[in-house]
Chains A and B, each alone.
Chain A
Amino acid sequence: MDMWERCVGILLLVFSIAYLAGALSLPMGRPNQPGPGIFPVVLGIALVAVSIFHVVKVFLAKSPAKNRDEFPYGKDLLRVMGVVGVLVAYGLFLETLGYIVTTLVLFIWVLRFLGMRSWARLVLISIFGSAGSYYFFKVILSTPLPSGILFP
């Protein structure tokens, strides 16, 4: 009886069915003239079959899987959620706000959330980390990082 394992098992099954449905809409071709759909369809059928098997197994299982690890709770969960949150925000705002701003926020947020106490050092490291890496990647390695609206 493990809610997480069941949820993940069902989500995998849903994904497999959706994938198979998508694959079936592709042209299959004939066996001697294979089309773009043939491999995805075969794969989709196999995936659905294995996922059903897995879901049944998980629902019948009395004890959690061997490598199953407990999800964190309380303060530990908060830390993980903090990192997840800033990552999602990073993915959404990188292009509009630009590399320096988003990376600065990422540094400050992560350092603070994971327990760095001194604000002065924290801000210093963050500024150095974001500006320094911008200089390193953009100027030395000429990676075209987005500069954003603040530094057009």
Chain B
Amino acid sequence: MSDDKPEADKPAAAAEAAHEHDHDHADHDHDHADHDHSHGGHAHGEATAHADGHDHGLAHTTPVWLLFGILGALLVLTVATVSVTSIDLGAQGNLVVAMIIATVKAALVCTFFMHLLWDKKFHAVLFLTSVLFLILFLAMTTNDRGEYQHLVDEYRAQQLQAK
């Protein structure tokens, strides 16, 4: 949680600090999005070679070939998940396989399209936390429902007999 120290060592608003960091405008060899390197005077994007996905300014730039590669993988997985339905894997088997494939697709979207691979870890932690809470909610509720389902079934059965 205390992942990011505030710009603690440099009084953030002081104009002086900006001038001290003026040296690194020419090259963009940054490897972390959270280092405060690009100060003012930087209003226009450089159209230099960024196809290799180095950081540019405030954050990492995804290379285009990677984007298409991920899309390809996603489309293949979509085809796979549809085709699998024609194979009978038992009552729960198909569901499990479908969920696994969906999760792989989701992981690809999150990691690459949504940039989590190159972002602060805290964002990934946040997202996983929300998924964890979702699972907690689903698990407890379904479990509880399962536990008292027999009461519902018995009642139903009684009602049918009474007819």
Query: Do A and B actually bind?
Result: no
Binding site for A on B (CB under 8 A): none
User: CB within 8 Å of B: which residues of A?
Assistant: none
